[in-house]
Chain A
């Protein structure tokens, strides 16, 4: 009996898919060929003719391999992006926000750090917890096969969100109100943005550092 799996594997060549998915595709195509040959045999063809007719179904195996790879790979990429970026990123953001709210309810007071005439408002317990959050979500992304850029982005997700909010508030206040203070005191704007974006980003990034070594393969 002919080994259809081996034949399909050899003709398809290298398909850039996960091992399980590749095996499934090969098995499925092999079983189709097997059914075709049985069908042709039932119609009275000789075995060599039946096999030749079945193999005629694919004029270009390389093109078929590429089409399958393109279709399946996009699906894999989408799933991987959700697993190693969006999911840990949103968890990082929600956790950071929840933590700051809990500290507020618990009555933790912010710490004021004076820089000349300006002052930074720092929630020290929150900042102390952020490296753990950055570490946990970077590790999560790493386990899900995230590249180094994904692991950094995941850890910095809350900082990106805060930056987007700051930009929105500053721009709308300056243009639509217009808020004279923002226009005349750009240094205060920079300090405020540093307060809510740069300092937390540094803390989150610090936690992710141990997990920025080369990517692990996704766990299947």
Chain B
């Protein structure tokens, strides 16, 4: 697999993971990375260096919006929520990835392995 394809898959899956998570509720960066690691049982992990450039990129593209709020501990955190553009993007993104995994499955029998 070329580096370009790997990068695109990683980027696309990261975008889906973040948008899907923010569709449920607004979260700040640390919570996003923690929830993704928990929900995927560690299969997908974001560290600080990979998470924030991705969040800033999503924000630049208008898919998420950030605002400062105090968290439960009273500390100021930048919460991200899904914008209406982000909500519109999420549905086709889910379909694309569903199609991709079904195609991969029919080719490689991943779920039957």
Interface of A with B (CB < 8 Å)? 24-25, 27-29, 31-36, 39, 57-60, 63-64, 67-68, 71-72, 74-75
User: Shortest Cβ distance from A82 into chain B, in angstroms?
Assistant: 14
In the complex, the answer to whether A60 meets B49 with C-beta atoms within 8 Å is: yes
In the complex, the answer to whether A68 meets B60 with C-beta atoms within 8 Å is: no
- Contact residues of B between 25 and 62, Cβ < 8 Å to A: 28-30, 33-34, 47-49, 51-53, 56-57, 60
Question: CA–CA, A68 to B53, complex, Å?
Answer: 5
**With A24-B78, A36-B30, A71-B60 in contact, do A29 and B53 touch (Cβ < 8 Å)?**
no
At the interface, is chain B mostly helix, strand, loop or mixed?
A: helix
Q: In chain A, what residue has the closest Cβ to B32?
A: A32
Contact among A39, A57, A64 with B53 in the assembled complex (CB-CB below 8 Å): A64
The residues of A that contact B33 with a CB separation of less than 8 Å are 32
**With A31-B30, A31-B75, A32-B29 in contact, do A58 and B53 touch (Cβ < 8 Å)?**
no
In the complex, the answer to whether B48 meets A57 with C-beta atoms within 8 Å is: yes
Interface magnitude class on chain B: 10 to 19
The residues of A that contact B28 with a CB separation of less than 8 Å are 31
User: Shortest Cβ distance from B56 into chain A, in angstroms?
Assistant: 4
User: Mask for B54-90, Cβ within 8 A of A = 1, else 0?
Assistant: 0011001000000010000001111000000000000
The residues of B that contact A59 with a CB separation of less than 8 Å are 49
The residues of A that contact B34 with a CB separation of less than 8 Å are 39
In the complex, the answer to whether B48 meets A68 with C-beta atoms within 8 Å is: no
The residues of B that contact A75 with a CB separation of less than 8 Å are 60
**With A31-B77, A71-B57, A74-B60 in contact, do A57 and B47 touch (Cβ < 8 Å)?**
yes
Question: CA–CA, A28 to B34, complex, Å?
Answer: 16
Q: In chain B, what residue has the closest Cβ to A63?
A: B49
The residues of B that contact A74 with a CB separation of less than 8 Å are 60
In the complex, the answer to whether B56 meets A29 with C-beta atoms within 8 Å is: no
Question: CA–CA, A75 to B60, complex, Å?
Answer: 6
User: Shortest Cβ distance from B111 into chain A, in angstroms?
Assistant: 33
The residues of B that contact A58 with a CB separation of less than 8 Å are 47-49
In the complex, the answer to whether A68 meets B76 with C-beta atoms within 8 Å is: no
